[in-house]
Structure 1
Amino acid sequence: MKKYFMYAIMFFLPSNVIGQDDTNGQMEKQTNEGNQFETDSIKSLFFVSKESLFSDTDVIFNTRFAFDSNFLDGNHVLSSFNVNQFRFEIKGKIHDKVYFRFRNRYNREPIPGNLDNISRAVDIAFVTIDLSPTTNFTLGKLCADWGGWEFDLNPIDILAYNDIIENSDNFLVGAGIAHTFEDKKNSISFQILNSRTKTYEEQYGASSPPNLKPSEFPLAAVVNWRSSFFNGKIETTYSYSFFNEAQGAHMNYIALGNKFKARNFLLYYDFQYSIEGLDRKGIISGIIDSKYQYAAQKAVYMGNWIRAEYLVTPKINLLLTLMSNKHYWNDNPDPNGSSKLSNSYGIIPTIQYSPFKNFNMNFYLGYVARKFNYSSYAEKAFDVKDYNTGLLSFGIIAPFLVL
């Protein structure tokens, strides 16, 4: 088993991790932050003779493979086979109080961020240390602990993200602490992260407003509260985030996630609200760029996300996702203008079939319908037009646990 585990590590880790020159004496191991360890330390971890090490380690191929047909304004554009998601993941326990998790995405170009110095293809790479039975400390590249279930779900289970999540930097380098209360029904976490993966200059470039200067502390703070009620039938995950984008320009983000669970039924509802001193999502900036060369200031995004799942039989699951968003520009200099520039809507009906008992692999058929509407003011002022997109997708979804 140890031999096969090592083959898997060597084959799936990015080549720039495996193929470093031995003479430099160090090897980068992505666990939360890209910490570096001596080569001998890496060998002692993976070639240790204790079989218990591997019993505490999982290797997972998070996969979604499909045949996709794309549509624009009702017209067929392209049909092709796609590996929509392939995220290689290793996680486990390496000490009584130390855990690690690493996940690399093979559907994103592995370009290191010039702020955090780690590939954007790496989703997460962190170490967690138990400070007590109820409190732990985590360091490395983390998931921003935003409230809401949309971002909490495995990415292979999301055929399309809502506007705010789709246009955010979700995986950031930093540190966090989490505490679970004695009732086991409530927990709270706090993170300090880089506010982005790139420097201010690379993120905004020539579109940076001339009245703004880069911050010397491009950091973010995220607070999350999770709770459970009525014997687990209702669960919540609420968060507030503060991002320091530039001097005098910040982002305040609130996400409220709610989940209701019955015997064969799940219902999720997320509310998302982002107030951005400098338009980080880029949607408003994209609308106004025909007239204004700089990124928008005082952009506001409000989103709603609903997902319902009904297990008809042990093998057949029906899903329906609904999305809506509103996009505002509160800094519009036009005295006769409107702050509301656009809406977007989405509906995703899906059916899943699980042919194997006790094995999480689903065949699915889903359709992603999105509609983008601009206000009459935006159409006249910025020469934009409404449009809609469609995606018919048939394939498999599976977190293949290979070890």
Structure 2
Amino acid sequence: MKKYYIYLIIALFPAIVLGQAKKEKQTTEGNHLIDSITPIIPVSKQSLLRDVDVIFNSRMAYNSYFTDGNHDLSHFNVDQLRFEVKGKIHDKVYFRFRNRYTREPVPGNLDNISRAVDLAFVRVDLSKRTNISFGKLCADWGGYEFDFNPIDILTYNDIIEYADNFLVGAGVSHTLENGNHTFTFQALNSRTKTYQEQYGATAPPNITPSEYPLALVGNWRGKFFGGKFETTYSYSFFNEAQGAHMNYIALGNKFTSNKLVIYYDFQYSNEGLDRLGIVSNIISSQYPYAAQKAVYLENWVRAEYLVNPKINLLLTVMNSNHSWKDNPDPNAKDKLSTSYGLIPTIQYMPFKDFNIRFYLAYTARKYDYTSYAENAFGVKDYTTGLLAFGFVAPLLVL
């Protein structure tokens, strides 16, 4: 129960900080009241709050779900609710904490922290352009799909959807003097769970788990042509097991022209042991173990056009290809399936000085299996749909 009291105190923190204890006492000479106002937070400590933000990252909607064109269910849903506190506690020390209330708070048995906690780290500025970070970090993968605040992505493409995105470790970042290029290097746990918990009975008998389950991530962020073209490129190496590693490349590109912004991400993941599990799920009717040499290749495009200060139009198009290069069938092609996604969205922003956006969107997904996969593993093509009307808001309460 203690943790729930802590959450309650945090949620009421702004009111406590801004409130004042007002004591009224009656004088002995009459019925006049004298107001004595005493700050609850000492004045000497209040300066710390100037650099601290308290945010409720929220997305709530009325959702209607469809499968193969047939309506399944409609209901109100809290799609995202992430509580965040961040800011400076010293001239050179910054902290950030974000907790997700839409995920079970189950601690990972490798990193010993709840999977509901996205971020819990401290950053120390070594200089104006160099810093180091320790704690549960956001893996600095390239690509703008992952760079967005999660409340702004209605549906993720397959790699980000199924990956462990927040991992415990350390990182160092350096920005060049001109401010246009930043380089980051991170050493992280390769997952939140132990090998045994991650794969369980599906662990291939010929694979030995690594004694050093680490991930190395390198990222470059660049700006060109006065910021009209930006990049976030990364390469990651995951030491998953002996002889079974993962190589991940993400190339994010951003083009800005007046009211139009276009993002394009290319992602490639070559997994010696199938971490995402999509290929393993396809072949599960014939192979009881996690697939080896699974390959995922994706494209993601998002266009935003600001019609006027209150109306924003968005369109997301994406696809993901799933291949298995370790198939023992000599006549089989590597590719097993492709998923497609289309998300047209309209946003309405009623307030000029307050960031809340009402939206209407439809997410159309199609899952297309090759004829080989259908015949060999019994899978079948299908489509899904999600019609959503709701609001998005990073509610800054302090």
* TM-score exceeds 0.5: yes
Report how far residue 10 of structure 1 moved.
3.3
What per-residue deviation string (whole Å, max 9, x for no partner) do you get for residues 16-54 of structure 1?
xxxxxxxxxxxxxxxxxxxxxxxxxxxxxx878322100
- 1:180 counterpart (156, 175, 185): 175
Residues 343 and 7 (structure 1), Cα distance of their counterparts in 2 relative to 1, 3 Å cut: closer
Q: 1:198 to 1:55 in 2, by over 3 A?
A: same
Q: What is the alpha-carbon distance in structure 2 between the residues aligned to residue 90 and residue 11 of structure 1?
A: 10
For 1:320-359, what aligned pairs fall within 5 Å after superposition?
Answer: 320-359=315-354
- 2:126 alignment partner, SS class: strand
Q: What is the identity, as a one-letter code, of the residue corresponding to 2:363?
A: V
Identity %, equivalent residues: 71
State the match for 2:252 in structure 1. Answer: 257
What SS class does the counterpart of residue 389 from structure 2 fall into?
strand
Deviations 1:124-150 (A, max 9, x none): 000000011110000000000000000
2:184 corresponds to: 189
State the match for 1:18 in structure 2: none
Partner of 1:92: 87
Q: Which residue of 1 aligns with 2:10?
A: 10
**Cα offsets for 1:181-214 (capped at 9, x unmatched):** 0110001000000000000000000100011011
Alignment partners' CA distance in 2, 1:146 and 1:197: 17
The yes-or-no answer on 1:286 pairing with 2:281 is: yes
Stretches of structure 2 lacking an aligned partner (at least 5 in a row): 1-5, 14-40
Q: Distance in 1 between matches of 2:287 and 2:58?
A: 41
Given that 1:64 and 1:396 are in contact with CA atoms closer than 8 Å, whether structure 2 keeps it comes out as yes
Matching residue of 2:35:
none
1:369-380 to 2 correspondence within 5 Å? Answer: 369-380=364-375
Task: Tell me, in whole angstroms, the C-alpha distance in 2 between the residues paired with 1:281 and 1:54.
Answer: 41
Bigger CA radius of gyration: 2
SS at match of 1:49: helix
1:209 lines up with 2:204 in the alignment: yes
CA distance in 1, matches of 2:189, 2:161: 19
2:108 to 92, 108, 113: 113
Q: Distance in 2 between matches of 1:378 and 1:124?
A: 39
Select the residue among 123, 127, 131 that pairs with 1:132.
127
Q: 2:159 aligns with which of 149, 164, 168?
A: 164
2: CA distance, partners of 1:125 / 1:98: 14
**CA distance in 2: counterparts of 1:12 and 1:367, whole angstroms:** 36
Residue 144 (structure 1) aligns with: 139
The yes-or-no answer on 1:277 pairing with 2:269 is: no
1:150 alignment partner, SS class:
helix
1:72-113: CA deviation from partner (whole Å, max 9, x where unpaired) = 000000000000000000000000000000000000000000
Seen in structure 2, the aligned counterparts of structure 1 residues 7 and 189 have a Cα distance that, compared at 3 Å, is closer
Residue 73 of structure 2 aligns with which residue? 78
Instruction: State the distance in 2 between where 1:7 and 1:285 align.
Output: 39
Q: Which moved more, 1:142-151 or 1:47-56?
A: 47-56
Deviation at residue 338 of structure 1 after TM alignment: 1.7
Alignment equivalent of 2:149, drawn from 135, 142, 154: 154
Say if 2:303 is the partner of 1:302: no
- Equivalent residue, structure 2, for 1:17: none
Task: Give the Å deviation of 1:12.
Answer: 7.7
Find the residue that maps to 2:297 and give its secondary structure. Answer: strand
SS at match of 1:90: strand
CA distance in 2, matches of 1:153, 1:277: 28
- Looking at structure 2, the residues matched to 184 and 327 of structure 1 have their Cα atoms a distance apart, in angstroms, of 38
Q: Matched residue pairs, number?
A: 366
Which of 28, 36, 50 is the aligned partner of 1:55? 50
What secondary structure sits across from 1:289 in the alignment? coil
Q: CA deviation at 1:358?
A: 1.5
Alpha-carbon offset, residue 357 of structure 1: 0.9
Q: 1:355 to 1:288 in 2, by over 3 A?
A: same
Check if 1:311 corresponds to 2:306.
yes
| Structure 1 contact 12–88 (Cα < 8 Å) conserved | no
Alignment partners' CA distance in 1, 2:299 and 2:272:
21
Q: How many angstroms apart in 1 are the aligned matches of 2:387 and 2:319?
A: 20
- Root mean square deviation of aligned Cα: 1.3
CA–CA distance in structure 1, aligned partners of residues 324 and 334 of structure 2:
5
* Letter paired with 1:257: G
Q: Supply the distance in 2 between the matched residues of 1:363 and 1:398 (Cα, whole angstroms).
A: 9
2:31 aligned partner: none
Determine the structure 2 residue equivalent to 1:400: 395
Residue 64 of structure 1 contacts residue 156 of structure 1 at CA under 8 Å; is this kept in 2? yes
Q: Does 1:104 align with 2:99?
A: yes
- Structure 1 unaligned residues grouped into runs of 5+: 1-5, 14-45
Moved over 3 A (4+): 6-13, 46-49
Matched, 1:383 2:378: yes
Quote the residue 2:241 is aligned against: 246
The answer to whether the 8 Å contact 1:222/1:240 transfers is: yes
Structure 1 counterpart of 2:310, one-letter code:
K
TM-score, normalisation: structure 2: 0.90
